[in-house]
């Protein structure tokens, strides 16, 4: 990895997702509608950085292995930490975070295994992006405390998380299987 890659605008956007966790916590902790609105604004800013980082990397020809790793790691850290906040400060079920973390840790470990065997970084799959979007939407709904949407989105995510896991595990299996044949 070239040290300069850290300072690519796309990678700085990815890293900003982790930095934005602190002000999100501050506004959630206020436990007011104003605080909730500011927290949602920052969550939307996090989502915007996730949308822009890959596009900018391609447009500016700044794609890098560092970016391919830091982008999904920043996503997973931001989702896990904000979920912990919502468990503590709102009523997000802790078992839901356990489900999310189990999937994300498995994907991370298998991804590192593929990197070690194939020397490639697996990019996000479409279903993974949809799942991340729905997780973010769920967190916004829990932040704003919209009861009917909380239940609908909770069940939507309970469906998407295993589905995305299956897709990623299939991708890992095909890459590792191809490695064994070589």
Phi and psi for 90 in degrees, rounded to 5? -130, -150
Can you give the pTM of this predicted structure?
A: 0.84
Question: Tell me: the pLDDT tens digits for 59-99?
Answer: 999 888 788 888 888 988 998 999 999 999 999 999 999 99
Output the six-digit token pair for 24: 């999100």
Look at residue 173 in the predicted model and tell me its pLDDT: 84
Pick the CATH number of 3-175 from 2.40.30, 2.20.28, 1.20.120, 3.30.1120: 1.20.120
Phi and psi for 127 in degrees, rounded to 5? -65, -30
pLDDT at 55 over 70: yes
CA gap 82, 21 in Å, rounded: 7
Question: 45 and 62 in contact (C-beta within 8 Å)?
Answer: no
Question: 77 and 20 in contact (C-beta within 8 Å)?
Answer: no
Q: Which residue has the higher pLDDT, 105 or 158?
A: 158
CA gap 58, 54 in Å, rounded: 6
Only one residue has tokens 């391609």, namely 58
């Amino acid at each position: 990895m070239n040290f300069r890659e850290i300072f690519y605008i796309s990678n700085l956007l990815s890293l900003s997702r982790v930095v934005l966790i602190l002000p999100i916590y501050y506004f959630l902790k206020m436990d007011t509608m104003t605080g909730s609105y500011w927290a949602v604004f920052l969550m939307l800013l996090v989502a915007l950085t996730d949308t822009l980082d890959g596009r900018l990397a391609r447009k500016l020809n700044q794609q890098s292995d560092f970016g391919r790793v830091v982008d999904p790691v920043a996503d997973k850290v931001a989702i896990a930490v904000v979920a912990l906040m919502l468990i503590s400060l709102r009523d997000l079920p802790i078992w839901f975070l356990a489900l999310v973390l189990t999937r994300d840790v498995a994907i991370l470990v298998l991804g590192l295994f593929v990197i070690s065997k194939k020397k490639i970084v697996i990019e996000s799959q479409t279903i993974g992006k949809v799942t991340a979007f729905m997780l973010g939407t769920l967190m916004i709904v829990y932040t704003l405390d919209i009861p009917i949407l909380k239940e609908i989105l909770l069940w939507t995510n309970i469906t998407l998380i295993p589905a995305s896991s299956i897709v990623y595990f299939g991708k890992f299996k095909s890459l590792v299987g191809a490695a064994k044949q070589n």
